[in-house]
């Protein structure tokens, strides 16, 4: 079946502009996660959704970052007033159950964001 999809695959923007990154999780997966992968580094946790609520936003690096999820499916990560330090690959993952019990997280291919 279809895996996790993300769009766009690549995004180039100018410093100061806002960007929206989209994630479509696997159908039926109630848990959704956003991660950031900077060049040469491992993934950093950003935010976790259980259904439409976000019980853990601890990884969001600043108030310029926000995310929402509607209908227990699609999620959007928004970065306002982008900075060059926001350049990274943004990865989305989904799983059947959330953080209370470990379940395998299935990852999308990511969105490569470049801020000029």
Partner 1 sequence: AQSVTQLDSHVSVSEGTPVLLRCNYSSSYSPSLFWYVQHPNKGLQLLLKYTSAATLVKGINGFEAEFKKSETSFHLTKPSAHMSDAAEYFCVVSVREYGNKLVFGAGTILRVKS
Please give the structure tokens belonging to residue 1.
């079946």
Closest CA to 6 of 113, 109, 115, 114: 109
Rounded Cα distance, 56 and 98, in Å:
11
| Span 67-96, contacts to partner 1 by CB under 8 A | 91, 93
State residue 86 phi and psi, 5-degree precision: -80, -10
Q: Which x/- pattern over 6-45 shows residues binding partner 1 (rule: CB under 8 A)?
A: ---------------------------x-x----xxxxxx
Does 47 help bind partner 1 (rule: CB under 8 A)? no
Q: Which residues bind partner 1 (CB under 8 A)?
A: 3-4, 33, 35, 40-45, 48, 56, 91, 93, 99-102, 104-110
């Amino acid at each position: 079946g279809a895996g996790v999809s993300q769009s766009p695959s690549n995004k180039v923007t100018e410093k100061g502009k806002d960007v929206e990154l989209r994630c479509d999780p696997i159908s039926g997966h109630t848990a959704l996660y956003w991660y950031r992968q900077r060049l040469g580094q491992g993934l950093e946790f950003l935010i976790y959704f259980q259904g439409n609520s976000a019980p853990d936003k601890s990884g969001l690096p600043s108030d310029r970052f926000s995310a929402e999820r509607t209908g227990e499916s699609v999620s959007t990560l928004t970065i306002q007033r982008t900075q060059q330090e926001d350049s990274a690959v943004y990865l989305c993952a989904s799983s059947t159950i959330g953080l209370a019990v470990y379940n395998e997280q299935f990852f999308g291919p990511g969105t490569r964001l470049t801020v000029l």
